[in-house]
Amino acid sequence: MDEKEYAYRGLQAQAMDIQQQLQSLQALMAECSAAGKALENLKSDAIFPIGSGVLVPATTRGGKVLVEIGAGLVAEKTREEARAILKAKAEKLEYAFGRAEAALKEAARRMAELESSMK
């Protein structure tokens, strides 16, 4: 295998990795959006499914919710504070998605250049 083929295969692998990253980011963005919508529709009394047909009744205390604030840490926040945290997470995810998309386009461009030079 010559140098160009080797580079091309490396770019293919890189593009596949980026596509997987994009899929993961899309899933996280959807989860963040769903959490925001659920937060908006949250009543003081609710029932939450925990799996296998088991439901747990719950009541919020003083309108506060528990929010992961990073590194696995959870803090009690108001709904407004939770919305702000979700918004910040969504913005970071969108930025990361944009960067990954740009990297994928660059890999595709470089692959096209290599293809044309290998003919």
φ/ψ of 68, rounded to 5, equals -75, 130
| CA 25 to chain CA mean position, Å | 3
For the domain 3-118, what is the CATH code?
1.10.287.370
Question: Are the C-beta atoms of residues 35 and 26 closer than 8 Å to each other?
Answer: no
pLDDT digits (tens, 9 = 90+) for 73-96: 999 999 999 999 999 999 999 999
pLDDT digits (tens, 9 = 90+) for 16-39: 999 999 999 999 999 999 999 988
**DSSP-assigned beta bridge partners for residue 64:** 78
Flag whether the pTM goes above 0.85.
no
Say whether 23 sits in a helix, a strand or coil. Answer: helix
Give 52's DSSP letter.
T
φ/ψ of 47, rounded to 5, equals -120, 130
Angle between helices 79-118 and 3-41 in degrees, nearest 10: 160
The full set of domain ranges for the chain reads 3-118
| CA 44 to chain CA mean position, Å | 28
**DSSP-assigned beta bridge partners for residue 77:** 65
pLDDT digits (tens, 9 = 90+) for 107-118: 999 999 998 888
